[in-house]
Chains A and B, each alone.
Chain A
Amino acid sequence: MMRRTAMSALLSHWRRRPLQLVMLLLGLSLATALWSGVQAINAEARASYDRAAATLGQDRLDRIVSGTGAPIAQSEFIALRRAGWLVSPVIEGTLRLGPTRLHLIGIDPLTMPAEGMAGDIGATNDLLAFLTPPGLLYVSAETAERLSGQSLPPLKVSASLLAGIGMTDIGTAQQLLGKPGEISQLIVARGQRQGLPPVEQIAPGLVAKAPDAQGDLARLTDSFHLNLTAFGFLAFAVGLFIVYSAIGLAFEQRRATFRTLRSLGLPATTLTGLLLAELVGFSIIAGIAGVLLGYLVGSVLLPGVAATLQGLYGASVPGTLTLRPQWWASGLAIALFGTLAAAAQSLWRVWRMPLLAPAQPRAWARASESGLRLQAAAAIGLFVATIALAVFGSGLVVGFSVLGGLLLGAALLLPVLLALFLALMQRLTRRPIAEWFWADTRQQLPGLSLALMALLLALSANIGVGTMVSSFRLTFTGWLDQRLAAELYVTARDEAQAADLRTWLTGRVDAALPIWSVSGEVRGAPAEIFGVADDPTYRGNWPLLARAPDTWDRVATGTGALINEQLSRRDGLVIGDSLMLPGGWTTTVTGVYSDYGNPLPQVMIGIDALTTHYPDVARLRYGLRLPSDNVGALSEALRERFDLPPENLVDQASLKRRSLDIFEQTFSVTAALNILTLGVAGLAMFASLMTLSTMRLPQLAPIWAMGLTRRQLILLELARTLVLAAITLLAALPVGLGLAWVLLSVVNVEAFGWQLPMHIFPADWVRLAALALAASLLSAFIPLRQLAAISPSDLLKVFANER
């Protein structure tokens, strides 16, 4: 009975202050939403990778692949089977169908181990149709829609396939891909007999590969998702500032109630328990709202993320979210965790509160000199640790830890700096109102510092990420100009047409530069090996970061190779190092080039070396050099003469546009999260100002009594808000630039394998400053309206009711 009464007494607080309740719930649900939205995106993407990795059982079964990246001959498959190896052939390739591309996988259902079969493929009654011409093509429902009307084998919808993937019989696939008798890889069934002759003895050049539980995609995209997670966490942390101030305020204002309840005999344990129950209730409500909101955030952001993943990594991720049970659970858990973390201090105080403690609010905990000194020491300690980590650590997690250390240290240091600044200003002013202004601001600082810290975090993140993105864009655009030097890119349909094409092009263009490549393993990881013609196009334009004096001569004669920055950084390869390439031959590194946006290691060798070592290389793609006025005419002529589909003829301008689109897409999510974080910080500011304004009446009343008008008071309050926000903004600049530096020189290198020069964009800062000041003014608006509306009698009452 007592408990119920106590509970209703405690809850009545919220009825009287609905705005506070709204702040609490809003802060908590926003924090949960941003966090769980990001988690949802990551989970969706990871589920797709898992499905991709499991499509052929690559995650569980050994495979046999060609050591050189050349296709496996069907005769080698037969030889292995007839030697007793239980292997099943798979062919993979890309089918271009008008504007769409289909990743085609051909399997042999008769030899495929059961665990190599994707879910419901063939579960229907279609073997006859599957095996015999024209065959059947299994695709996802979405892909089926896109492919309708194409001249393909009859389509069958399968729920277990990702979008953009088609699965069909190997015979059908070989025919569609124009690769008769070719096999891409062999799936090795479990339970091979002991004592079989070794694979390399039966089919020299083939090598076994262990199952890959994670899958290439998951590994490639890991850093991308870590990035997202870091931003989600930042947003969550900023959101918690709101929760912290709302809870702190509610507890302060209920001190009288607490004392009364305790005096009436309610034990401290019960009181703490009731408050805990209240918080848990709120966190569940806010958690549910947050998860729903997060679903919304995730759904809005996912298409962009999916497009990025497709563009950068070729990863197919559906554009729609699935609600997963574990996601509900984790959303609620994080909300609960956040609430308890934010309320721990306040709960502790209630638990320890002496029975007869003064019942009035303490006008917010006052920061003592020693408290500030402690905070400064902690910040400096954090900076030192962060620097040590940056110097001695390595890895992406270290990169983000450095970011976290930098941000947290800066946030801790901010109130110290503000206090010093305000003390200095107070000493410098002589006029009484000015002196009061600075002194009063100092007095308010402890109450506002949390919100200002949140603002600092949001602003620094904004500056840091903005600087990184803009630096990247600038570098990337310049790099594209160098890299895409040819005016027109053309791809033949097959080798015969390619031969025709070469003959036809002679005399019509200044140069037809082969763009031929093979894939294979370089130093234990999948890589691409390109052939490069000896041409001024490359000598003059290729973006080399490091070079030997005779780089291009050595590449041309086949005694040297260029490697991309990713490969160079990953394995610490420098000019002069020797490099073993697929097929077991060795060359020397004579140059390193930048290769943004490519997740794979890449090697460039002379075109003659390529065709000598990999005679089977597909010779379909060419970059054409010609006067740019002739591009339109030539591509028209090419289209007519060779009946090429539009995607086989791409001019420089549209290729650049496409690359930049992918680039912009990549950072649109980051930008969106950034804005949301800033919004949350603004809300935190608002919550703090609301808190303070209700408590400030006793401090304003004497000033009013001394003759300052309410209007003047309001202007002073506005000025105070602006000054604090401006100083925070100034502090955020170096922090943001530091952040950008860490992102460009540490995180990017770890995540993607490339380093970027940093550029500075002051115009962006001005825009951000305007935005931040506007946000703080807006957050001061409601509290000040209350002040404006206050009647003189209320101000007078302060003296009468002086507690």
Chain B
Amino acid sequence: MTARTVISFLMALLLGLCPPIAAVAQGFAGLGTTAEGFAVPQPGKAFAFPSDHGAHPDFRIEWWYITANLTGADGKAYGVQWTLFRSALQPGEREGWSSPQIWMGHAAVTTPERHFVSERLARGGIGQAGVTAEPFDAWIDDWRMQAAAPVAGRDAVADVTLKAAGQDFSYALNLTAEGPIVRQGQEGYSVKSAAGQASYYYSQPFYDVRGTLSLPGGDVAVTGQAWLDREWSSQPLAADQTGWDWFSLHLDSGEKLMGFRLRDSGAGYTSATWIAADGTPSPLPPGALSVSPVSTAEVAGRTVPVGWHLTLPARGLDITTTAINPHAWMATRTPYWEGPITFGGSHAGRGYLEMTGY
């Protein structure tokens, strides 16, 4: 799923983390179109694992993004988000406080009634946050995505534990991949606009999840599916793109669909990848996927389209999505909507929806 967060993060900076960061954001916006000094994604690059699971400090932005659709022992549907963003003020890494790398974490738990959110910020170089590729470990404060003991022949992030906590919630999950890493776009080169902005992008959409959510009402044992998105880039979006609607869907058939629409002043830009049950990706041409809102909700004083109609004629897909909790509002420094959904129609299943710019 998500270039989403590119802007999510940029806007976080823009709209005022602490005031000084607002400052940077303007610098960012200026740099946003020209990647001064930063590396730029090139088509045809082959990923090398496990090193590409780690950080790429020469690129401006990067994230480790996990969403999970879970079912509790109580029979209720739950959603979990765990995200670590990296944003570089300058390319490269330096030791200590002078590190130009800034890290941000977002964590959330969604129930049909509640939506718990927490956010963290840290500087690189001092050990408060970071990612190491081998053994894989990604952390900010006490939030952590950590590889289990390595097993020969399995990918470095195939088995991980995931932890995060906010003021009134926490979770600890074990994730086990039941399928391969999936390269999005052209072998991992994902184009984000007609003008050619692109990112490196791969996913692990085949996690089985087992674990515990700690909520104000008590602990809930959960099982379900999770999806990891890894993306890094330096020139994420075109200047006129104002927001996006992003879907990651687990079909009951075992197939997966990643699709998004980037909104702009015109018709927008849609892109999608159809992932077979064995993990074989089929990138679809821009415009193959069409999305349109069917219902809205009043969230945080805004009108947000929380129900969608998606059609992908090439695959005979015609579905309508429903949010498990329409009020899954991420009241972070840059607010956005992100939550678990279910869908029915030509296909049934569950997934995650992210919407920014509303």
Q: Which A residues are within 8 Å of any B CB, using their own CB?
A: 74-75, 78, 81-84, 86, 108-112, 114, 117, 120-128, 130-133, 169-172, 174, 180, 191-193
Answer whether residue B335 sits at the interface, using C-beta atoms and an 8 A cutoff. Answer: no
Contact pick for A170, options B27, B90, B97, B121, CB 8 Å = B97
- Chain B residues closer than 8 Å to A131, beta-carbon distance: 20, 89, 97-98, 100, 102, 123
Give the CA-CA distance A560 to B128 in the complex, in Å.
Answer: 43
A-B contact pairs, 12 of them (CB 8 A): A82-B142, A108-B123, A109-B18, A121-B19, A121-B20, A123-B20, A125-B27, A128-B24, A130-B20, A131-B100, A169-B97, A191-B167
Give the CA-CA distance A125 to B24 in the complex, in Å.
Answer: 6
Answer whether residue B126 sits at the interface, using C-beta atoms and an 8 A cutoff. Answer: yes
- Chain A residues closer than 8 Å to B142, beta-carbon distance: 81-84
Cβ A127 vs Cβ B24 within 8 A? yes
Chain A's nearest CB lies how many Å from the CB of B103?
9
Chain A's nearest CB lies how many Å from the CB of B217?
14
Contact pick for A193, options B90, B98, B167, CB 8 Å = B167
- Measured CB to CB, the nearest residue on chain A to B167 is A191
Cβ B22 vs Cβ A132 within 8 A? no
Cβ B141 vs Cβ A124 within 8 A? no
- Contacts A81-B128, A84-B165, A193-B170 known; A127 to B22 CB distance under 8 Å? yes
Cβ A82 vs Cβ B139 within 8 A? yes
Cβ B141 vs Cβ A132 within 8 A? no
Give the CA-CA distance A81 to B120 in the complex, in Å.
Answer: 10
- Measured CB to CB, the nearest residue on chain A to B163 is A84
- Chain B residues closer than 8 Å to A81, beta-carbon distance: 122, 128, 141-142
Chain A's nearest CB lies how many Å from the CB of B121?
4
Contact pick for B23, options A82, A125, A133, CB 8 Å = A125
- Chain A residues closer than 8 Å to B22, beta-carbon distance: 123, 125, 127
Contact pick for B18, options A84, A117, A133, A171, CB 8 Å = A117
Cβ B26 vs Cβ A193 within 8 A? no
- Chain A residues closer than 8 Å to B126, beta-carbon distance: 74, 78
Query: 6 tightest CB-CB pairs across the interface, nearest first?
Result: A171-B97, A122-B20, A125-B23, A127-B24, A84-B142, A127-B20
Answer whether residue B179 sits at the interface, using C-beta atoms and an 8 A cutoff. Answer: no
- Measured CB to CB, the nearest residue on chain B to A80 is B141
- Contacts A110-B122, A193-B165 known; A117 to B89 CB distance under 8 Å? no
Chain B's nearest CB lies how many Å from the CB of A76?
12
Give the CA-CA distance A127 to B100 in the complex, in Å.
Answer: 11
Given contacts A110-B18, A128-B24, could you give 20 more A-B pairs where the C-beta distance is less than 8 Å? Answer: A75-B127, A82-B142, A86-B141, A108-B123, A109-B21, A111-B122, A112-B18, A117-B19, A120-B19, A121-B20, A122-B23, A127-B22, A127-B24, A131-B98, A131-B102, A132-B89, A169-B97, A170-B97, A171-B98, A172-B97
- Measured CB to CB, the nearest residue on chain B to A180 is B96
Give the CA-CA distance A127 to B98 in the complex, in Å.
Answer: 12
Q: B128-141 interface mask toward A, CB cutoff 8 Å, 1 = contact, 0 = none?
A: 10000000000101
Q: Across the A-B interface, how many residue pairs have beta carbons closer than 8 Å?
A: 99
Chain B's nearest CB lies how many Å from the CB of A177?
13
Give the CA-CA distance A117 to B18 in the complex, in Å.
Answer: 8
Q: B1-24 interface mask toward A, CB cutoff 8 Å, 1 = contact, 0 = none?
A: 000000000000100011111111
- Chain A residues closer than 8 Å to B268, beta-carbon distance: none
- Chain A residues closer than 8 Å to B90, beta-carbon distance: 128, 132
- Chain A residues closer than 8 Å to B89, beta-carbon distance: 127-128, 131-132
Give the CA-CA distance A122 to B22 in the complex, in Å.
Answer: 9
Answer whether residue B180 sits at the interface, using C-beta atoms and an 8 A cutoff. Answer: no
Chain A's nearest CB lies how many Å from the CB of B357?
22
- Chain A residues closer than 8 Å to B23, beta-carbon distance: 122, 124-128, 130
- Measured CB to CB, the nearest residue on chain A to B141 is A81
- Measured CB to CB, the nearest residue on chain A to B103 is A110
- Chain B residues closer than 8 Å to A126, beta-carbon distance: 20, 23
- Chain B residues closer than 8 Å to A86, beta-carbon distance: 141
Give the CA-CA distance A131 to B21 in the complex, in Å.
Answer: 10
Contact pick for B102, options A78, A110, A192, CB 8 Å = A110
Chain B's nearest CB lies how many Å from the CB of A777?
66
Give the CA-CA distance A242 to B268 in the complex, in Å.
Answer: 84
Chain B's nearest CB lies how many Å from the CB of A197?
10
Give B88-136 interface residues, CB cut-off 8 Å to A.
89-90, 96-98, 100, 102, 121-123, 126-128
- Chain B residues closer than 8 Å to A133, beta-carbon distance: 98
- Chain B residues closer than 8 Å to A193, beta-carbon distance: 165-168, 170
For A78, A81, A117, A191, the residue with the greatest tally of chain B CB atoms inside 10 Å of its CB is A81
- Chain B residues closer than 8 Å to A170, beta-carbon distance: 97
Cβ B96 vs Cβ A171 within 8 A? yes
Chain B's nearest CB lies how many Å from the CB of A75?
8
Cβ A110 vs Cβ B123 within 8 A? yes
- Measured CB to CB, the nearest residue on chain A to B142 is A84
Contact pick for A78, options B20, B27, B97, B128, CB 8 Å = B128
Chain A's nearest CB lies how many Å from the CB of B44?
32
- Measured CB to CB, the nearest residue on chain B to A172 is B97
For A120, A125, A174, the residue with the greatest tally of chain B CB atoms inside 10 Å of its CB is A125
Chain B's nearest CB lies how many Å from the CB of A3?
60
- Measured CB to CB, the nearest residue on chain B to A192 is B167
- Measured CB to CB, the nearest residue on chain A to B26 is A125
- Chain B residues closer than 8 Å to A127, beta-carbon distance: 13, 20-24, 27, 89
Cβ B97 vs Cβ A174 within 8 A? yes
- Chain A residues closer than 8 Å to B21, beta-carbon distance: 109-110, 122, 127
Contact pick for A128, options B27, B97, B98, B166, CB 8 Å = B27
Cβ B19 vs Cβ A122 within 8 A? yes
Chain A's nearest CB lies how many Å from the CB of B215?
13
Give B123-176 interface residues, CB cut-off 8 Å to A.
123, 126-128, 139, 141-142, 165-168, 170
Cβ B97 vs Cβ A114 within 8 A? no
- Measured CB to CB, the nearest residue on chain A to B18 is A109
- Chain B residues closer than 8 Å to A120, beta-carbon distance: 19
- Measured CB to CB, the nearest residue on chain A to B166 is A193
- Chain B residues closer than 8 Å to A117, beta-carbon distance: 18-19
Chain B's nearest CB lies how many Å from the CB of A96?
23
Q: B193-218 interface mask toward A, CB cutoff 8 Å, 1 = contact, 0 = none?
A: 00000000000000000000000000
Give the CA-CA distance A125 to B13 in the complex, in Å.
Answer: 11
For A82, A170, A191, the residue with the greatest tally of chain B CB atoms inside 10 Å of its CB is A82
Give the CA-CA distance A132 to B93 in the complex, in Å.
Answer: 11
- Contacts A78-B127, A81-B141 known; A132 to B19 CB distance under 8 Å? no
- Measured CB to CB, the nearest residue on chain A to B122 is A110
Chain B's nearest CB lies how many Å from the CB of A86?
8
Give B60-101 interface residues, CB cut-off 8 Å to A.
89-90, 96-98, 100
Give the CA-CA distance A108 to B168 in the complex, in Å.
Answer: 25
Give the CA-CA distance A191 to B23 in the complex, in Å.
Answer: 27
Cβ B121 vs Cβ A111 within 8 A? yes
Chain B's nearest CB lies how many Å from the CB of A72?
14
Chain A's nearest CB lies how many Å from the CB of B144?
9
Give the CA-CA distance A133 to B102 in the complex, in Å.
Answer: 15
Give the CA-CA distance A637 to B228 in the complex, in Å.
Answer: 68
Cβ A110 vs Cβ B121 within 8 A? yes
Cβ B18 vs Cβ A114 within 8 A? yes
Chain A's nearest CB lies how many Å from the CB of B23?
4
- Measured CB to CB, the nearest residue on chain B to A83 is B142
- Measured CB to CB, the nearest residue on chain A to B96 is A171
- Chain B residues closer than 8 Å to A169, beta-carbon distance: 97
- Chain B residues closer than 8 Å to A174, beta-carbon distance: 97
Cβ A82 vs Cβ B141 within 8 A? yes
- Chain B residues closer than 8 Å to A110, beta-carbon distance: 17-18, 21, 102, 121-123
Give the CA-CA distance A121 to B23 in the complex, in Å.
Answer: 11
Give the CA-CA distance A84 to B165 in the complex, in Å.
Answer: 8
- Chain B residues closer than 8 Å to A171, beta-carbon distance: 96-98
- Chain A residues closer than 8 Å to B166, beta-carbon distance: 193
Give the CA-CA distance A112 to B89 in the complex, in Å.
Answer: 19
Give the CA-CA distance A86 to B119 in the complex, in Å.
Answer: 11
Chain B's nearest CB lies how many Å from the CB of A451?
61
- Measured CB to CB, the nearest residue on chain A to B23 is A125
- Contacts A110-B122, A125-B23 known; A132 to B98 CB distance under 8 Å? yes
Give the CA-CA distance A174 to B125 in the complex, in Å.
Answer: 15
Give the CA-CA distance A193 to B165 in the complex, in Å.
Answer: 8
